[in-house]
Amino acid sequence: MKKIYDLLCKLETIICGIFLILVVVLVFLSALTRKFNIPMQKSLDVAQLLFAWLAFIGADIALRQEKLVGVDIFTSKMSKKANGICRIISHLLMIALLVVFVIKGFDLTMNSWDRSFQSLKLSYACVTMSLPVGSLLMILSTLTLIAKDIRMIRGEN
């Protein structure tokens, strides 16, 4: 199971890197061609699609690597065990919020199924699907962080 999760993590990182490069290139090309009065609306729509996925997959990468913004003014003064318990409670609250994002995200996706991009023959649901999928990935990452915290509290690490 760990090998599959590690493969998923590597795949997410590769996808984010590719999407970031594509978004930058597409927006740059769009700005450049607009300067010569040759608008490229499709490139902006594709960039919007890629950026939505980039944001949510990137959020999962940041969460997994524990690079999200946090305030540790109180927890830094706690014992290791108390800090671990605090982190587990925080992660459980995060999972509760992410479950809401998954449910509401799928609702949003179903409601936007008939909506399409201006220039692409593609459903806007392809963009809104990034919310529930990204949230599911973050739930998985949060569960692994909880397991890590439990091992730390038990003194297994």
| CA distance to 12, 71, 73, 87, per residue, from 78 (Å) | 34, 13, 10, 11
Close Cβ partners of 101 (under 8 Å, ≥ 6 residues apart): 131, 132, 135
Residue 70 has pLDDT above 80, yes or no: no
Residues 124-138, mean pLDDT to the nearest whole number: 95
pLDDT attached to residue 125: 92
Q: What is the pLDDT of residues 14-30, one digit of tens each?
A: 999 999 999 999 999 99
pLDDT attached to residue 157: 61
Q: What is the pLDDT of residues 36-64, one digit of tens each?
A: 888 787 888 899 999 999 999 999 999 99
Residues 114-142, mean pLDDT to the nearest whole number: 92
